[in-house]
Structure 1
Amino acid sequence: MAEGFLLYDETEQTSTRYLGYAGEHGRYDVAIINTGHFFGKRLVISIQNGRSAILNDEDAANIPYLMQAFDIRSEDEAAEFSELLLANL
């Protein structure tokens, strides 16, 4: 390796939930990964665009953050996505 520092290298069993939902403002296909690595938060990956974020309920309720993290352009769509996440994290 170059002159870097390996910060961590861990392997663990995780639980992954795949969730598809068609709402009023959009369709959402996500993978929600439960892991002990992120201090109780979950790794959420949008299957449509590949964007991801590490979220807890507080993060999932933050509409501007969801818009930025998942490249959502409409507040209505982000609010709908937030409701989906809050019901399923």
Structure 2
Amino acid sequence: MNMDLMYDETEPTSTRYVGFVGSYGRFDLAILQTNHFYGKKLVICLQTNRCAILDQSEAEHAPYIQEVFQLRSEEEAEELSNFLSHNI
């Protein structure tokens, strides 16, 4: 098998697990902070296994949040975007 290893690093991370129910949906998230993503946070939806590497401005952009987490409605995306913009 021909494989070029690009990186193999181990580092400590900080992980926050958050679950909340809003007006439009329930969210169970893991938010990881690491130096590997240059100040961005890795946000994982534990229900769908979808994830995104986000900074503050990306978290505030509800259409992007809707696309990356494949949310059903704009309202659901606004709700998650609002939470993330205040919590990452």
Q: TM-score range by the shorter chain?
A: over 0.9
What is the number of residues matched between the two proteins? 88
Cα displacement (A) at 1:4: 2.4
Unaligned runs of 5+ in 1: none
Q: CA RMSD in A?
A: 0.7
**1:86 equivalent in structure 2:** 85
1:10 correspondence with 2:9: yes
TM-score (norm 2): 0.96
- CA distance in 1 between counterparts of 2:28 and 2:60 reads 18
SS of residue paired to 2:37: coil
Match of 1:21 in 2: 20
Tell me what 1:45 maps to. 44
Structure 2 runs not aligned, ≥5 long: none
CA distance in 2 between counterparts of 1:57 and 1:21 reads: 20
Structure 1 ranges of 4+ moved more than 4 A:
none
